[in-house]
Amino acid sequence: MGIYDITANLIDGTPQSIGDYRGKVLLIVNVASKCGFASQYAGLEVLYRRYRDDGFAVLGFPCDQFAGQEYDDPNAIQQFCTRNYGVSFPIFEKVNVNGPNTHPLFALLKAEKPGLLGIQTIPWNFTKFLVDRQGKVRRRYAPTDTPEMIERDVAALLRHASSITAH
């Protein structure tokens, strides 16, 4: 199974095929409203607005697996993102990114791009995966890697798929 074969529900419960993003550069992020890194929503929105017309999308996946830092109510998640950060990129339903109930998208992302020492587990909220136009995971970024630090890689992938070296 490839990334484009996976479906996830948007925050309103509508099924969304990742295949609908075929041909775009994607930044897939596990997010949490009450996380200390939540201010990264602002930078993610800047990246999304700056590059969306060039074929770029940010996909936000709320996760409550790290210290219970996400709201239970989908409306509260959406309102938090919109009210505090003006988020216009797609936000999906809460998912698990680790453990036996890991969402298939994150199982694939982790398998294609494990973390340090080959460890697949996601360590915290705001772990990011950069996916090229062909659906290949090109880079994995730590929660502390800000959107501003990632912008150069996003721009390079949008210009030339071969510009980013897979680490």
Taking alpha carbons only, the member of 149, 116, 154, 117 closest to residue 28 is 154
- Of 6, 25, 27, 35, the active-site residue reads 35
Tokens of 129: 């995966």
Taking alpha carbons only, the member of 92, 95, 160, 105 closest to residue 137 is 105
Whole-number Cα distances in Å, 123 to 7, 48, 74, 141, 166 = 24, 24, 23, 11, 20
Q: Based on the number of CB atoms within 10 Å of its own CB, is 156 exposed (0-12), middle (13-18) or buried (19 or more)?
A: middle
Element (H, E) at 153: helix 147-159
Do 24 and 121 form a contact (C-beta atoms < 8 A)?
Answer: no
Active site residue 81: no
Catalytic residues: 35
